[in-house]
Amino acid sequence: MSVFTPVPESALAHWLKDYAIGRLVELKGISAGVQNSNFFVTTTLGRYVLTLFEGMSRAELPYYLHLMAHLARHGLPVPGPIANLHNEYLGTLQERPAALVVRLSGASEMAPGVEHCARVGAMLAGLHLAGQSYGRRQPNPRGPEWRLATAQAVRDFLPTDERTLLDAEIAFQSAQALANLPAGAIHADLFRDNVLWDTDADGSVHIGGVIDFYFAGHDALLFDVAVTVNDWCSLPDGGLDGTRCTALLAAYHAERPFTAAERAAWPGQLRAAALRFWLSRAADFHLPRAGEMVLVKDPNEYRDILRLRIADTPPLPL
């Protein structure tokens, strides 16, 4: 468990009187996740996930909740938020901003094969296409400004070779011209643990849910593809698995073809995506916020992925 605000059943039962989803049957804390306090909630009418937002400003939350509603309305397996009797998605519980979303079925697959990667590629293209008509805009919270500030904050904790790597990569990324890349609403954290796989009656699997939109924002669509490829298509040593990579990218390309500018930017965006997670994990590791993070992911994994993408990044295989 990471951040965790306890929710007594009596407080939730009272809070649910403001919703049209029946009465509380069961409340269960969820131990996965590194950002917010999450709970499975069962009522007499259905199954939901309750999130208490920790350390996120109330003002930025409508962007995420309305994006989820928008994507769900477009037929994507994204948890739709539940409006309360005042027609609002965002409420307050235990003095935290809080929201209920539909609980989707399935479980994450941490050892994906070629077919999983192809489905994720097609799904990501669907998210990007549907996101084009989303009316709200909020910058990627882990975009260039955050990157510079975080690099500055962590660099003194790093050994000399890592500091050199970081400085060089920051300079490289700052010099990239990205204005001509197609942009829109991106998930920005489509890791394997944020996709739930559901099994059909015949034993085949499909994507039951895409969750955790709380890093979403407006940015280059290709950055989202790079984040996804780095997580779904890496070998244990961090190198890219060409077969899974081609499957994911070909399935994406079939729904939203890559542009010439994206082909040119691909190697740099794979590096930008690796740098983003090296930095966030390094910040969580070296600068933990008191009482907030228990689950800290290994920064070295993404440092090594960055090194490998600098040394060898195959072009878009299409």
Ligand X SMILES: Nc1ncnc2c1ncn2[C@@H]1O[C@H](COP(=O)(O)OP(=O)(O)O)[C@@H](O)[C@H]1O
List residues binding ligand X (CB under 6 A).
Answer: 30, 32-36, 38, 49, 79, 101, 103-104, 193-194, 209, 211-212, 214
CA–CA distance, 80 with 211 (Å, rounded to integer): 10
Three-state DSSP at 287 gives: coil
| CA distance from start to end of the chain | 41
79 binds, among ligand LJ64HWYM, ligand X, none (CB under 5 to 8 A by kind): ligand X
Least separation in angstroms between CB 124 and ligand X: 17
Q: By the 8 A CB rule, do 82 and 22 touch?
A: no
Least CB distance to ligand X at residue 98 (A): 13
* Rounded alpha-carbon distances, angstroms, from residue 314 to 240, 248, 311: 9, 14, 10
**All residues at 6 or more sequence positions from 222 whose CB lies less than 8 Å from its CB, including other chains:** 181, 182, 258, 262, 265, 266, 269
User: Which CB sits closer to ligand X, 38 or 150?
Assistant: 38
CB 296 within 8 A of CB 1: no
Instruction: State yes or no: residue 193 binds ligand LJ64HWYM (CB under 6 A).
Output: yes
In the complex, the smallest distance separating the C-beta of residue 238 from ligand LJ64HWYM, rounded to whole angstroms, is: 13
Could you say which of ligand LJ64HWYM, ligand X, none residue 281 binds, taking C-beta under 5 to 8 angstroms by partner kind?
ligand LJ64HWYM
**Residue 187 CB, nearest distance to ligand LJ64HWYM (Å)?**
10
Site residues for ligand LJ64HWYM, 247-286, by CB under 6 A, read 277, 280-281
- Cβ closer to ligand LJ64HWYM: 3 or 251? 3
Q: How far is the CB of 271 from ligand LJ64HWYM (least distance, A)?
A: 16
CB closer to ligand X, 166 vs 195: 195
Distance of closest approach, residue 86 Cβ to ligand LJ64HWYM, in angstroms: 28
Q: Give dist(CA 142, CA 315) in Å, integer.
A: 25
Amino acid letter, residue 23: R
In one-letter notation, the amino acid at residue 181 is L
* Residue 238 binds ligand LJ64HWYM, judged by CB under 6 A: no
CB 62, CB 89: distance < 8 Å: yes
Dist. CA 193–CA 294, nearest whole Å: 17
CB of 38 to ligand X, least distance (A): 5
Residue of closest CB approach to ligand X: 33
| Exposed e or buried b per residue across 213-234, where buried means at least 16 C-beta atoms within 10 angstroms of its C-beta | bbbbbbbbbbbbbbbbbbbbbb
Structure tokens at 171: 């300079």
Per partner kind, with CB cut-offs from 5 to 8 A, the member of ligand X, ligand LJ64HWYM, none near residue 191 is ligand LJ64HWYM
For binding to ligand LJ64HWYM (CB under 6 A), which residues are involved?
33-35, 189, 191, 193-194, 212, 277, 280-281, 297
